């Protein structure tokens, strides 16, 4: 946890009540130890999509579709979320959950290694959310930047990793390779004069970047 326990508990108490589908997804993730975005991060994504008038969103790492659904709900009826997922079982679980909500029809899941799939995408996206293999984050960002519109946003989850990224040491949950990759990415984005980048201590650390 990045925040002090007292602050974290207070913020958790302010979370809006989730509907049945989201509650079921959270319960599934907890039971099966599937990492998903925190409720606050998922809501932030929906708000950014709505505020920016996003029509086409790219999600790298779908898992069970928790954030996919909340983004899809914020899109217009003709909007679309293109989700890239490597794990066939996770994609199947996601499709099952998404089928329970009309907005789920706006989500298209493409199976395969995101680094390969990204090279074949020709669309220009309004919003990109990255929450997949941490060691591959720098590659995802490099591949996503040319595919997001000039005023679009790229949002990256887990850039602080329980605060370990600040200290530079991994543990049994966050590998040293993951921590090193996050530190290198954060430093590189902060130093890139062609981008605006902010790292927010929300959830497990959310990075937001945009072309200048």
Average pLDDT over residues 47-64: 97
Beta strands in the chain (DSSP E): 56-60, 80-85, 107-111, 125-130, 148-156, 195-200, 206-211
Contact 198, 182 (CB under 8 A): no
**pLDDT tens digits, 57-100:** 999 999 999 999 999 999 999 999 999 999 999 999 999 999 99
Global pTM? Answer: 0.93
Distance CA 138, CA 60 (A): 13
H helices within 101-198, ranges in order?
114-118, 137-144, 164-167, 176-191
- Domains of the chain as residue ranges with CATH: 5-211 (3.40.50.150)
């Amino acid at each position: 946890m990045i925040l002090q326990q007292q602050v974290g508990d207070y913020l958790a108490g302010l979370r809006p009540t989730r509907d049945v589908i989201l509650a079921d997804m959270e319960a599934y993730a907890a039971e099966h130890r599937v990492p998903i975005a925190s409720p606050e991060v998922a809501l932030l994504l929906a708000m950014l999509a709505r505020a920016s008038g996003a029509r086409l969103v790219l999600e790298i790492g779908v898992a069970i579709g928790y954030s996919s659904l909340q983004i899809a709900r914020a899109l217009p009826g003709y909007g679309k979320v293109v989700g890239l997922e490597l794990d066939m079982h996770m994609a199947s679980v996601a499709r099952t959950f998404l089928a329970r909500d009309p907005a789920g029809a706006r989500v298209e899941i493409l199976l395969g290694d995101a680094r390969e799939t990204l090279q074949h995408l020709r669309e220009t996206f309004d919003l990109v959310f990255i929450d997949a293999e941490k060691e591959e984050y720098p590659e995802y960002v490099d591949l996503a930047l040319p595919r997001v519109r000039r005023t679009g946003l790229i949002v990256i989850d887990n850039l602080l990793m329980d605060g370990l990224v600040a200290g530079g040491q991994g543990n049994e949950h966050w590998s040293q390779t993951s921590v090193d990759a996050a530190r290198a990415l954060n430093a590189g984005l902060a130093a890139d004069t062609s981008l605006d980048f902010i790292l927010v201590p929300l959830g497990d650390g959310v990075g937001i970047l945009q072309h200048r």
